Amino acid sequence: MNPSLLEKAFEEGHIRLEQLGKTERVVYVAANRSERWSDPEEKVRAQFFAELIFHYGYSPDRIGVEITVPDRAPSDFADLVVFHDDQRKRPFAVIECKKEGISDAEFNQAVEQAWGNGNAHKFRAAYAGVVAGSTRRFLDCNDKFGALERDKNVVADLPENYGKPPEYKYRKGVSNQWQDIRPVSKGELIAAIKKCHQTLWGGGRLSPPAAFGEFCKIIFVKVRDEKASRKKGDPYDFQIKTDEPATALASRIKAMYAEEMQREPDMFKEPIKIDDGTVKMCVSHLEGINFSKTDLDTKGVAFEQFLDGFFKGDFGQYFTPREIIQFCVAMMRPTEDHYVLDPACGSGGFLLYAMDHVRHEAERLEDDETARFRHWHDFAKDRLFGIEINDEISCVAKMNMILHDDGHTNIVGFDALDRFSRLSEQHSKLGPGRFDLVLTNPPFGAMVKESEKGKAYLEGWELLRYIKKGEQWDDSTEGDFKSGKRSVKARASIKTEILFCERVWDFLKPGTGRAAIVLPDGILTNSSLQGVRDWLLQRFQILAVVSLPQEAFQHAGAGVKASLVFLRKRAPREQPDDHEAIFMAAPSNIGYDATGRKTYTVTIKNENGKHRTEVHSTDLFDVEVIFEKAPAAGTGIEEWQERTRRVLSGKGLLGKYRAFEKNPESFFV
């Protein structure tokens, strides 16, 4: 929907707003009808009323509002009726308008209402339709279709100016903005994603992760269809065709997906499992969106906000709060020359923020648009890697990368703690000593047991010989830990976070490789883990330790007290220096509280009619956030929506760390 059409309807006097006491009402001038403007459905009706005039070409004198339908209950009214004549006696189309985001059951009920109104004995319209925000369905009321038909008589779009419905609504590269898919605002994209996921979840028909997995398959087909080679004017395949039943549409979508599965067998390993009607409903939510041309920042903010709500409770382990990720990435400053890895990538947050950091640097460094694109895109495609043990969640990370213009082929669904010989089988570049940066929030608390994993799985880990309180490490034994004269035996079980410390060391390049890792405070403070700390100090230079408040992960379902530890892998034979400075800090305001409520302070930097810039300040850093007026989902009415955000490097702990890097002297903030 083009938001300017509603504005145009106001400007040309077809619609106006009136204040009656405390109530604001919208007046449809030609219809001589006023309604309460605060009703969400009214805004949808006003938007589509404007579309009927300026897009579909119908005279406002022939558009009725709240029309009584004969032969129906006395209280039954049609929201909008397009008439053949100025006297409004011969209906052409009957439209029901519903608010954005209604359930599928409510939508289908509205379809029945529209069909019933359109086929009333003394009314008899040619077309009936439902407009539920951006989700729409129009039906041909021709006598050739049975009274109970709701599938084969679906048309691609309402006819323009009393003509025939188009065979396809969307075609590539046509000059008419209504006939090609289009980029959307953050609000519209979030609404479409939520509706699609709700359709797939079906009130419990699928588990949330399984529903999201099916959603990823659908999005994958959609994005690939957008990028497929086709001539100007050719129709897209991912859309509902006039008079096409759900079986035919679903067959086409599933065939497209099967073809992509053959091209990329590692992306998805199973076919689309949802029924034909669900496929059709998902297509109706997404068919008009151009994901490829929607701005990367818009996609990033929209997808992240959706995932923020999705990965809570049982799934909080796969979601690291944005503020933590931003801070770690800003501290490490990845460049396009770095090889970057997250060996426990979850939904891909660290990878996406690393990519965004490089992309924003490209905007600063490169003048040519093509050079900017190559600068960050080649980095994302060739140097950004993730490993995630949960197959369903690894698909989420892959989809996140696809929506951000690739890098998904470097996401591996596998166990990062498995033997390197097996990791290399998954991806040839997942070998030891190959990465410049590791950014990760590994799983806490779980025990890796030899009895469950097998003896081979735990062979070769140095940290299986970690030291209890009071025991010392004799480096002369080439890595064995000693207790007096007796070597400590390798253990048959160990916590995952301890093994991840060693695996991070394995992945990093000697001497220069750096890591930002979230670790439970037990590793840093428990007396029984002194040997682990000794190992860390021997193998790494500790650059910084930032102790997070207790509530840092509570809203994501985890209450473990944790710290951010920043490390550099020592070169071979490099020995620790007692004078190495360590940056240490304990921020209290990290931008949110235990419930997830935002706690940053806001300063408005500037504002005009279309853009607003705010600075959000926490103890960690300041973030510059740019908002713009963009259409709300379903109504086209403009509202402030977040457009992009960038970390300001000179403020908060980040600024203090930059000063520390120039003059490293140990201190505590």
Convert the pLDDT of each residue in 156-189 to its tens digit. 999 999 999 999 999 998 877 778 999 988 888 8
Q: Is the pLDDT of residue 493 over 80?
A: no
Q: What is the pLDDT of residues 294-348, one digit of tens each?
A: 888 888 878 877 777 666 555 556 678 889 999 999 999 999 999 999 999 988 9
Question: Where does the pLDDT of residue 385 fall: very low under 50, low under 70, confident under 90, or very high at 90 and above?
Answer: very high
Asked if the structure places residue 521 within a domain, the reply is no
pTM of the model: 0.83
Which pLDDT score, from 0 to 100, does residue 489 have? 55
Structure letter (DSSP) for residue 512:
T
- Same domain as 15, residue 122: yes
Asked if the structure places residue 376 within a domain, the reply is no
Name the residue type at position 474.
D
Cβ atoms 157, 144 nearer than 8 A: no
Asked if the structure places residue 240 within a domain, the reply is yes
- Same domain as 126, residue 240: no
Question: Where does the pLDDT of residue 72 fall: very low under 50, low under 70, confident under 90, or very high at 90 and above?
Answer: low
Number of folded domains that form the chain:
2
**Mean pLDDT of all residues in 3-20:** 89
The CA-based angle 283-285-289, given to 5 degrees, is 90
Q: Is the pLDDT of residue 37 over 70?
A: yes
**Angle (deg, nearest 10), helices 296-310 and 186-201:** 40
- Secondary structure string (H, E, C) spanning 401-420: HHHCCCCHHHEEECCCCCCH
Asked if the structure places residue 572 within a domain, the reply is no
Asked if the structure places residue 452 within a domain, the reply is no
Q: Is the pLDDT of residue 109 over 60?
A: yes
How far is the C-alpha of 557 from the C-alpha of 256, rounded, in Å? 38
How far is the C-alpha of 296 from the C-alpha of 80, rounded, in Å? 37
Residue with tokens 């379809």: 111
- Same domain as 152, residue 62: yes
Which pLDDT score, from 0 to 100, does residue 445 have? 74
**Mean pLDDT of all residues in 560-569:** 96
Helix (H, G, I), strand (E, B) or coil at 269: coil
Q: Is the pLDDT of residue 381 over 50?
A: yes
Two tokens, residue 18 = 């009136």
How far is the C-alpha of 48 from the C-alpha of 58, rounded, in Å? 12
Q: Is the pLDDT of residue 545 over 60?
A: yes
E strands, 329-485, are 340-342, 384-388, 411-413, 437-440, 447-449, 482-483
How far is the C-alpha of 624 from the C-alpha of 644, rounded, in Å? 8
Name the residue type at position 181.
I
- Same domain as 141, residue 272: no
Residue with tokens 């909080």: 316
Based on C-alpha coordinates, what's the Rg of the chain? 29
Which pLDDT score, from 0 to 100, does residue 471 have? 38
How far is the C-alpha of 610 from the C-alpha of 623, rounded, in Å? 20
Which pLDDT score, from 0 to 100, does residue 486 have? 40
Asked if the structure places residue 592 within a domain, the reply is no
How far is the C-alpha of 618 from the C-alpha of 462, rounded, in Å? 39
Two tokens, residue 629 = 């007026």
Using the 3D structure, point to which of 137, 166, 195 is the last residue of a domain.
166
**Mean pLDDT of all residues in 567-583:** 93
Using the 3D structure, point to which of 261, 286, 311 is the last residue of a domain.
286
How far is the C-alpha of 414 from the C-alpha of 147, rounded, in Å? 53
H helices then E strands: how many in the chain? 19, 26
- Same domain as 114, residue 57: yes
Which pLDDT score, from 0 to 100, does residue 174 have? 86
- Same domain as 208, residue 73: no
Two tokens, residue 560 = 């473990």
How far is the C-alpha of 414 from the C-alpha of 456, rounded, in Å? 17
**Mean pLDDT of all residues in 221-234:** 93
Q: In terms of Cα–Cα distance, which of 194, 169, 165 is closest to 180?
A: 169
Q: Is the pLDDT of residue 416 over 60?
A: yes
Two tokens, residue 6 = 């509603």
- Same domain as 91, residue 210: no
Asked if the structure places residue 16 within a domain, the reply is yes
What are the φ/ψ torsions at residue 572 (nearest 5 degrees)?
Answer: -55, 135
Using the 3D structure, point to which of 271, 286, 301 is the last residue of a domain.
286
How far is the C-alpha of 98 from the C-alpha of 515, rounded, in Å? 51
Q: In terms of Cα–Cα distance, which of 98, 106, 96, 100 is closest to 158?
A: 96
Which pLDDT score, from 0 to 100, does residue 313 have? 52
- Same domain as 198, residue 137: no
Distances (CA, A) of 302 to 220, 296, 550: 17, 10, 28
**Mean pLDDT of all residues in 596-600:** 90
Cβ atoms 286, 238 nearer than 8 A: yes
- Same domain as 142, residue 24: yes
Higher pLDDT among residues 584 and 452, named by residue: 584
Which pLDDT score, from 0 to 100, does residue 281 have? 95
How far is the C-alpha of 466 from the C-alpha of 393, rounded, in Å? 32
Structure letter (DSSP) for residue 62:
G
- Does an H or E element contain 210, and which? helix 208-227
Asked if the structure places residue 83 within a domain, the reply is yes
The listed range with the strongest mean pLDDT (67-71, 622-626, 645-649) is 622-626
Two tokens, residue 496 = 């995952």
**Angle (deg, nearest 10), helices 296-310 and 349-365:** 160
How far is the C-alpha of 551 from the C-alpha of 258, rounded, in Å? 45
77-83 and 91-98: which strand pairing?
antiparallel
**Which region among 92-101, 300-309, 620-629 has the lowest average model confidence (pLDDT)?**
300-309
Contacts 24+ apart (CB under 8 A), 77-86: 78/114, 78/117, 79/41, 79/45, 80/45, 80/48, 80/49, 80/52, 81/125, 82/52, 82/58, 84/162, 86/59, 86/61, 86/62
Q: What is the pLDDT of residues 439-489, one digit of tens each?
A: 999 988 778 887 778 777 888 888 887 655 333 333 333 344 333 334 445
**Which region among 61-70, 123-132, 298-307 has the lowest average model confidence (pLDDT)?**
298-307
- Same domain as 248, residue 280: yes
- Same domain as 127, residue 161: yes
- Same domain as 274, residue 130: no
Give the residues across from 439 on adjacent strands. Answer: 516
What range defines the domain where residue 151 resides? Answer: 3-166
CATH code of the domain covering residue 28: 3.90.1570
